[in-house]
Structure 1
């Protein structure tokens, strides 16, 4: 590794100087150099733009009465003032020309400190400055002074110095302030003070004993945002010394830094501590590592710095970019100057003239380092070669050439300024790369801790962030890796991590940019085998990143993360439950086509079908869901969730009802498929009311249904619920076909039931009642078809035809299939219904009479109605009294032929055979003739006693008629007499009138 620090010498104009001048302090600000001398003078030099030397401008005395050494120069550019500590007096001057500011003086000042919590860089990132505050619309800067009796917090205005707070503290000789905390050196020890609460914590002794040692002065430095470095020594300067680093609570936070003797002076150039030992030895130590890293023998001029003109050009070109890598608080100002021995009012401390001094100044010097250009250039490690990318590559190359500078504010000089030099720190980039490449597992944690410490001071350094991110991966520090890669996404592109772990650029979308100095490291990083720890880190990182909102190239980053997460789950969780995969797919925002491709490659058809629902590609869902049901695609998850395919089919039907209820083409496509493969479920879909509005072809559905039972169910649905009456004929024909099939199978039992009925004695119960009581002995299917056919025939008309079965009159077909068959008499209900619908009443009566069902015969003859199986009257015919009378006579004739006295008696008593069928007022003589006719037809052996009621009622009728006739004659005779008398009276009256 090359030297950590090198000297770059600064040239000064000697023409205006005094060779006997002893310089006690200095300050650089912009193009100005202010030198304080042992004689109480300030020399102002200025760098002309086209010159490489600082030219003499002015020399003035601080005091006209005393010549006390100038020990501190404090620049306050925010209020255009300079404060100078000469002896124990603090005076104010105007910046930059150093004319007296007329703001008063402060005496009895032993040390001065700015508030290191207010330190920052100026707008051009060319100088360190201090924050400006406002009080009553006046600007001021904070300053703390240390006197023998107190610590005073001042507010420095452009025209005055005002006390803000005073804390009693005896014996103060030096101190440093950061925010509300102050480290103070008293006569023999260090002390930590909380200025807000006036709380004090005793720290370390300055020396091993309280013996006065004139050449050992306390050294206090601000290290970081909440740390201080304190130097402790022995009894004399030549004894070993050590640096203790504490935080604002007084706790030691880092390893002790050791020197072989007490430092003459000390500066912090983070992360290094620079101490001058023995007057001319510069010792470089690290805040992170123990031991001496480098020793520089001062006074040997090896090279000179670039001209100031070149520095300024660099500063103007690249300051805005480079100083992102710097922390504002790391550079020390006036506290880094050896104070000398303030016990001597007019002379320098012993041996001062030969001691080198080191301090940090306000100016930020910038030194160009061309070797850095290639390392800090941003370029795409994964490229798309788009036009925008090419333009950006050119832009980044130009920007890197402007940023390849090293910054420093640490100055080393001897009292004569013969050796005035910048201490140029090795570029952080080279140092970080060296540490990364040479780290081992043994020292990896210590190196990482040091880098993190620097990161706390340089939180915006993109190169350091990148190094840290790669470091955690290289040494498997996955907890740190997750924190760094998650919280620094603008710099640590998640696609870079994916590339490092997966090793496949084809899985990355968009351009992935990083520093070219890291290209080889990234390309050569081979992640170990996927350990459990790496898997846990990787899946956690991907899951957290997939929901992140990236400010730049969001879509390509999220797409890459989504697909990598998908590949990971498919690779490592392929045999587990698909919950993780389903959860991821619910988050997928981009890369839908790639997601589909990956799922297909892994044959996750169930997941794929559900994913199509998520992206609203509903037709594709139906396609793959159908394939899973049919077995065209095999998926364990699907088979596990839907062992019964009917459940999956119901899911699909419900999905169609929701998304395609009005799409006739889609509905018919899947309905036709279901009817052919899963006809029962397909029929259920065809009968769903959700699709009624589509007006699907009934004939297509019927023809597609091969199962006759299902076809029957659909025709019944069409006829009964959809009210499509035109399909009654097809329904009856299908019922007839099925009925005949079952009849053939069950004919023996049918014959048996019929024979049982025929064996019943006369008069018999109606065959309809007999059927209802005995049909349960038959097969259920046969009975069901018989009853359905009977009920359906009840609605058939003489003109009912089949539509789907090639036409033909339904009653004619039924006549041919039933009335012309051997079973005509065995299924009398159906035969009777057919004949009834054909209005062939006499044939219908023949069937009833042949099976001796005279109950049904008499009922039909008297009403011309049939009973349905539901005991409802079927009355769709116009009642014809003449036909009814004729049928009744025919029945009576049969009864007479049978000479069945009970039937005859019941019939005679039940039916009025004497009334004429044409007119109700049949003449009595005709009734008497019919009465005689009926008597003559009765069998000779017919018991007269059974005609008692018949004779009685009829003779009574005749007697009533005769009595009624006599009454009517008498009434008529009386009326005729009244009318005759009336006529006679009227004639008499008329004649009398005429005669008079």
Structure 2
């Protein structure tokens, strides 16, 4: 059963000196009536051999729980010790050696293969590499007087050839050379079966009279360890040889001659004679090997290095607790933490192939992981970490551990460095895919975006570093952060985990620095950061409206652009809408359109000659907006009136609206101008200069610079036009507000005004205003008006005005039949010389008339005399 706990460093059934390897029980109870001689592991199956010929088969039914599922005899006729079990996994078979006999067993059921003959008189054997061509394992089997070449396939053990080499007790194949490293009689030798020759190397026992069991094991790909000694109870030497028989790594002194030996570089496991102690030797570079751990027990036990590794979970809980990721910042999510824990549990694939077994059960040896050996955060730990991270991780667990060491290494550099500068950043960036750069931002107490998680084993250390306010170690934070981002993009363009949030965290920090300097340029930030940058800049929208617009344009966020332009620049709003009609979002309704147009128009009070207004009108045409519907929703009267004027009125309702609007506006304008106009009218009336302009021209000249006057003229004329469209016979609104007729004088052409009021009323008005020029325009052909005018001018008691009138109209006056009445009205006080121009033509005309009368009288008299003469002649 797996002991997935850390309550004890080693199993309490052993006496242990040293803590390099922990001992964990695998199967605690095995039959005590047997002595066990060999063991193998094969895919959840454990095969156990005894000295009495029994073969036990255990299977892992549940995780960590092994059950004995079969027990059989190697030889039914006699008890014989099981000397060796060797797996042939490619053909699902195993070779079992017992008392010189080799049998083929089925895997995984571990039963003898039927119809396959055994091979006898064998001292040892060594399989070679599997051959796909023949689906068989070539194998050398050794007897006292020969080497037998055997092909082991799933269905047979076929003897292919024999070689004339005698006395081989044990041998291992030399890699790729078809040679063997073995023991021939009492000598370790290199054996060449093909040439049937041996090359002696070292004696097994220095004293030929004594016999020691040759002990040999693989020490790596091309190296082997052989044991040479004097006796079982005396110390011996382990020699490490290459495949040429040369000593490569010195010697290992072993306390007693081992009955078994196993290697897990750089450690050598020696089962000392008597099988009650296993010493673990550690090879050291440039130093003598030493015993680093000793395992002993009162009852005999053996050590074995299995052909296949199996899960070792002794330290799993500790490792899971250290390696599982937990949040360094942000919300703690139990579900996420559980997922992280489960992920680590799934990926801790630590295995071992070292077993201890005996009557007290089966245990495995598990080396303490490097992770658990790091106990100090002192500067002296940094070289150790550098060594660990230089290794190439192969297994899932080693990758987790490797990442952990990388993070710890960077944290240690930050902790012990004098300055956080570009040099440190470069080291960090080499492992940025593992060590989240946001940890540095966390140390600087900046805001972090995204989930920042860290191995639980480093959480406390990281939090303590955060408390140290490490930002003080950085002399120029902006410079370092700019360098960091630039190098991060150069070195980690691909594969950077959560890169968007990493760049976002950096961008927002740099943004705030730029905002302080008022130097925000979107080219300095990642486009993936734009949305959050918009949120930050929107807090100071008035200052960064243009930058926000640029960001929205980059994101093609039409709604964002509209939002800014609504608030900041209605002119650009309408122009943008007009230029981007086809890009407006589907969610942009007619209601939104009307609202935006209204907003733009409200902020542009001067409608005439306004580019915005004409853009609005063009936009409405492009979008085919129902003008009636549009204008009906506009609450601003001035805006509505303007649009109706530009778009055209199609309903009586709109016409009525305009009429009421114009009435109100005209009244307001008239009220505003009343005082000013009255002053000017009074001035005009009292001015008796006969050459002054008409009152209409006078007022136009005086009021031309007044906006109210311009509005008055515009609105008044529009009002008159609407009145005509509504009802030509209807009384004019001007009748209500224009008692003096001044408005009509200004608004209506003279001909129309005369047609409306009549010439008599118009003359009356002109006379009341002393509008001499206008009066002169209606005198011609109207003798009565001349007399009326003359009466008014006489009443003015201004000789100049009277004389100017008489002179100006002398032709008409002189031709009047009633000019006598005119002369009678002229005051006698007026000097005749002032009337010379008038009187002279009159008198001349009268004189001519008198002369003509005299002539006519003479002619008539002569004519009458002639008639009388004729009459006399004709009398009888």
| TM-score, length of structure 1 as denominator length | 0.45
1:289 Cα shift?
Answer: 11
1:94 and 2:41 aligned: no
1:458 Cα shift?
Answer: 2.9
Residue number among 392, 401, 404 corresponding to 1:467 in the alignment: 404
Describe the shift of the 1:905–1:759 C-alpha distance in structure 2 as closer, same or farther (beyond 3 A): closer
1:431 Cα shift?
Answer: 1.6
1:372 and 2:279 aligned: no
* 2:29 alignment counterpart: none
Describe the shift of the 1:936–1:836 C-alpha distance in structure 2 as closer, same or farther (beyond 3 A): closer
1:843 and 2:761 aligned: yes
* 2:470 alignment counterpart: 531
* 1:988 alignment counterpart: none
* 2:668 alignment counterpart: 737
* 1:431 alignment counterpart: 369
1:99 Cα shift?
Answer: 2.5
Describe the shift of the 1:796–1:304 C-alpha distance in structure 2 as closer, same or farther (beyond 3 A): same
1:366 Cα shift?
Answer: 2.5
Residue by residue, what CA displacement relative to the aligned partner does 1:721-776 show, whole Å, maximum 9, x if unpaired?
A: 65565425643553453354345358666755666xx353x455545555566667
Alpha-carbon distance in 1 for matches of 2:731, 2:283: 110
* 2:630 alignment counterpart: 695
Alignment of 1:34-45 (within 5 A): 43=102
SS in 2 for 1:486: coil
Residue number among 528, 547, 556 corresponding to 1:587 in the alignment: 528
Alpha-carbon distance in 2 for matches of 1:500, 1:774: 75
Residue by residue, what CA displacement relative to the aligned partner does 1:170-198 show, whole Å, maximum 9, x if unpaired?
A: xxx999xxxxxxxxxx999xxxxxxxxxx
SS in 2 for 1:526: helix
Alpha-carbon distance in 2 for matches of 1:608, 1:759: 66
Describe the shift of the 1:578–1:895 C-alpha distance in structure 2 as closer, same or farther (beyond 3 A): closer
Alpha-carbon distance in 2 for matches of 1:841, 1:410: 133
Alpha-carbon distance in 1 for matches of 2:819, 2:756: 36
Residue by residue, what CA displacement relative to the aligned partner does 1:139-187 show, whole Å, maximum 9, x if unpaired?
A: xxxx66699xxxxxxxxxxxxxxxxxxxxxxxxx999xxxxxxxxxx99
Alpha-carbon distance in 2 for matches of 1:748, 1:287: 119
* 1:202 alignment counterpart: none
Residue by residue, what CA displacement relative to the aligned partner does 1:620-657 show, whole Å, maximum 9, x if unpaired?
A: 996xx7xxxxxxxxxxxxxxxx9xx9836667788999
1:74 Cα shift?
Answer: 3.1
Describe the shift of the 1:663–1:653 C-alpha distance in structure 2 as closer, same or farther (beyond 3 A): same
Alpha-carbon distance in 2 for matches of 1:381, 1:102: 62
1:364 Cα shift?
Answer: 0.6
1:93 Cα shift?
Answer: 1.4
Q: Is the 8 A contact 2:324 2:456 kept in 1?
A: no
Q: Which runs of no fewer than 5 residues in structure 2 stay unpaired?
A: 1-17, 27-37, 40-47, 54-73, 166-170, 181-189, 193-198, 202-213, 226-235, 243-247, 415-424, 579-583, 825-834, 850-876
* 1:793 alignment counterpart: 716
Alignment of 1:560-579 (within 5 A): none
Residue by residue, what CA displacement relative to the aligned partner does 1:49-83 show, whole Å, maximum 9, x if unpaired?
A: 78899999843689xxxx9x977733447852223
Residue number among 411, 433, 452 corresponding to 1:486 in the alignment: 433
| TM-score, length of structure 2 as denominator length | 0.50
1:95 Cα shift?
Answer: 3.2
SS in 2 for 1:843: helix
Describe the shift of the 1:582–1:815 C-alpha distance in structure 2 as closer, same or farther (beyond 3 A): same
What count of residue pairs does the alignment treat as equivalent? 654
Alpha-carbon distance in 1 for matches of 2:101, 2:445: 64
Q: Is the 8 A contact 1:368 1:404 kept in 2?
A: no
1:931 Cα shift?
Answer: 6.7
1:528 Cα shift?
Answer: 1.0
1:80 and 2:135 aligned: yes
Q: Is the 8 A contact 2:136 2:151 kept in 1?
A: yes
Describe the shift of the 1:720–1:71 C-alpha distance in structure 2 as closer, same or farther (beyond 3 A): closer
Residue by residue, what CA displacement relative to the aligned partner does 1:176-223 show, whole Å, maximum 9, x if unpaired?
A: xxxxxxxxxx999xxxxxxxxxxxxxxxxxxxxxxxxxx9x999955x
Alpha-carbon distance in 1 for matches of 2:372, 2:431: 21
1:448 and 2:385 aligned: yes
RMSD of aligned Cα (Å)? 7.8
Residue number among 706, 726, 733 corresponding to 1:810 in the alignment: 733
* 1:918 alignment counterpart: none
* 2:852 alignment counterpart: none
SS in 1 for 2:757: coil
SS in 2 for 1:93: strand
Q: Which runs of no fewer than 5 residues in structure 1 stay unpaired?
A: 115-142, 148-172, 176-185, 189-214, 223-227, 232-237, 245-255, 307-357, 626-641, 703-710, 863-881, 914-929, 955-996
1:2 Cα shift?
Answer: 1.1
Q: Is the 8 A contact 1:45 1:54 kept in 2?
A: yes
Q: Is the 8 A contact 1:801 1:810 kept in 2?
A: no
Q: Is the 8 A contact 2:102 2:120 kept in 1?
A: yes
Alpha-carbon distance in 2 for matches of 1:617, 1:789: 42
Q: Is the 8 A contact 2:173 2:179 kept in 1?
A: yes
Q: Is the 8 A contact 2:217 2:261 kept in 1?
A: no
SS in 2 for 1:528: helix
Q: Is the 8 A contact 1:4 1:425 kept in 2?
A: yes
1:463 Cα shift?
Answer: 4.0
Alpha-carbon distance in 1 for matches of 2:630, 2:286: 87
SS in 2 for 1:848: helix
* 2:211 alignment counterpart: none
Describe the shift of the 1:445–1:243 C-alpha distance in structure 2 as closer, same or farther (beyond 3 A): farther
* 1:647 alignment counterpart: 568
Alpha-carbon distance in 1 for matches of 2:685, 2:462: 96
SS in 2 for 1:786: helix
SS in 1 for 2:129: strand
Describe the shift of the 1:100–1:274 C-alpha distance in structure 2 as closer, same or farther (beyond 3 A): same
Q: Is the 8 A contact 1:858 1:888 kept in 2?
A: no
SS in 1 for 2:157: coil
Residue by residue, what CA displacement relative to the aligned partner does 1:457-496 show, whole Å, maximum 9, x if unpaired?
A: 3366454245335524542477666665636xxxx9x899
Describe the shift of the 1:450–1:797 C-alpha distance in structure 2 as closer, same or farther (beyond 3 A): closer
SS in 2 for 1:83: strand
Q: Is the 8 A contact 1:111 1:174 kept in 2?
A: no
